[in-house]
Chains A and B, each alone.
Chain A
Amino acid sequence: MIKNLNKASDESLVKEILKDPENLNFLINRYWQQLFFFVRRISYFSSEDTEDILQEVFIKVYKNINSFDSSYKFSTWIFQITRNTTIDAIRKKTSRPQEFSLDQNDLRQILVESGIDIEEKIINKEKVKIIEEIIRSLPFKYQEVMILKFLEEKTYEEMVDIIKKPKGTVASLLNRGKALFKKQAIIKGLAIEN
């Protein structure tokens, strides 16, 4: 009889996966959507490429499941693996098609968190293009911390463990990312300097 592990804690699920790899199915169900959006946001890969990356991620999770340290949150650990696998894929990419995958809510969230007041309820196509350009122009290190903080809503402690940098560095990257984004937004006429 297959146990229903949908409500089991992450730690219990890890133990069950070690007994039977079929139980990995519950882990994939739990984290698939969250990780899918995370990979697409930081990499601009297509859905197909993202699925390939996530397949690799879950296999790595299974392989390294014994090294999971319970002093971390399990979600932090799986995000860590996902991030590293995505970065490896970005480095390997040659001419993979890139699709910008931040929707209107994501964009609005980034604008608000960067201190840019935008009154229109709907961001029109032209503004979307501008925001997209600005975000793409930011170095990866700023993009990923802004996505982790504003869109994935990770705490500083979780971000430290995911991107493996000290807390001070993470805070500094976030502040600089916001400042750069705001500066570019002012230059491109999205916001007024105050």
Chain B
Amino acid sequence: MTKDKITCEIIKKIKKDEIKPVPKWQGRFFGILIWTGVFITVILSSVFLSLVMINLFEIPIHFFSMNYFILLVHFMPFVWLGLIGIFLFLGFLIFNRTKRAYRHRILTIVMILFLATFIFSLVFNRLNIDRQIRNFTENRIPRSLSNRPSHMVFCKRNMAEEGLLGGELMQKKKDSILIKNDLNESWDVILTPETKIKRKTNLLVGDKVLILGNKIGKLSFQARVIKKIEENKASFK
């Protein structure tokens, strides 16, 4: 077939099938949709990263004396880590559909997405959005998970040996407090000038508290950090 004949065929087909150019707005709309998808996945992964961060850093950990596995099991909700991975992966897939994604290497795209996630997670942390989400989710933990706060869901019942004690404040003395844990043990918790009370709350008898420190005797504990467990958090039973 000659070129002229083919040209006629093409124009004939366009007229016969009433082929029309795709409207500009459709292309732009699809582009906006893709970028919105990238943005949403970054925001969602940022939310979960900030949740992981508050769990990891809110309670100070004595790294040299704790087993790292126990550390991970106690303070890192695996489901949030998994969700960060899923949303970042989704964000990467959606980003690859943008017009000029091919100009960038995979590593560059992944690093940019992770950096954006990290920055947004710091913003959410500052605005306390992560705490609000955690409070919201922790109120809905099933009883079958022993009513522990989600970041404590894998806790063993007695962790005084590992430097963690939780219970109800039974008595306040000048340099110590008496704590009753869920095993009905009464612990004498020594307070020193270095002991920090999180958020400087005034501890009252009846408050549920979580204490980090060291076991110094059979039922004696020296406190480094004390944190009051807020209402609506389940009991330690």
Contacts and interface: CB of A to CB of B under 8 A. Distances in A.
Interface of A: 18, 21-22, 24-25, 28-29, 32, 48, 51, 54-55, 58-59, 62-67, 69, 160, 164-169
A108 to B, nearest CB: 28
A59 B7 contact: no
Contact of B11 (A22, A168, A169): A22
Nearest to B30: A67
Contacts of A24: 7, 10-11, 14
Contacts of A54: 6
B21 A65 contact: yes
B103 A66 contact: no
A64 B22 contact: yes
B7 A25 contact: yes
19 contacts: A25-B7, A28-B3, A29-B3, A29-B7, A51-B6, A55-B9, A55-B13, A58-B10, A59-B13, A62-B14, A62-B19, A63-B19, A64-B21, A64-B27, A66-B22, A66-B24, A67-B24, A160-B102, A165-B102
Interface in B1-44: 1, 3, 6-7, 9-11, 13-15, 19-24, 27
Given A25-B7, A28-B3, A66 B21 contact: yes
What are the 8 closest A-B residue pairs judged by CB atoms, nearest first? A164-B102, A67-B27, A66-B24, A66-B21, A28-B7, A65-B21, A166-B105, A21-B14
B199 interface: no
Contacts of A59: 10, 13-14, 19
B174 interface: no
Interface of B: 1, 3, 6-7, 9-11, 13-15, 19-24, 27, 99, 102-105
A156 B89 CA distance: 29
Contacts of B3: 28-29, 32
A65 B22 CA distance: 8
A159 to B, nearest CB: 11
A160 B14 CA distance: 31
**Which residue, A32, A65, A66, has most C-beta atoms of chain B within 10 A?**
A66
Nearest to B5: A51
Contacts of A65: 21
A17 to B, nearest CB: 8
B149 to A, nearest CB: 46
Nearest to B31: A67
Nearest to B28: A67
A62 B27 CA distance: 14
B147 to A, nearest CB: 52
A55 B10 contact: yes
Given A21-B15, A62-B14, A64-B21, 14 more contacts: A18-B21, A21-B11, A24-B14, A25-B7, A28-B6, A32-B3, A51-B6, A54-B6, A55-B9, A59-B14, A66-B22, A67-B22, A67-B27, A164-B102
A160 B9 CA distance: 32
Contacts of B10: 24, 28, 55, 58-59
B103 A160 contact: yes
Contacts of B11: 21-22, 24-25
B131 to A, nearest CB: 41
Contacts of A55: 6, 9-10, 13
B221 to A, nearest CB: 58
Given A25-B11, A29-B7, A62 B21 contact: yes
A19 B110 CA distance: 43
B1 A69 contact: no
A6 to B, nearest CB: 14
A166 B19 contact: no
Contacts of B1: 48, 51
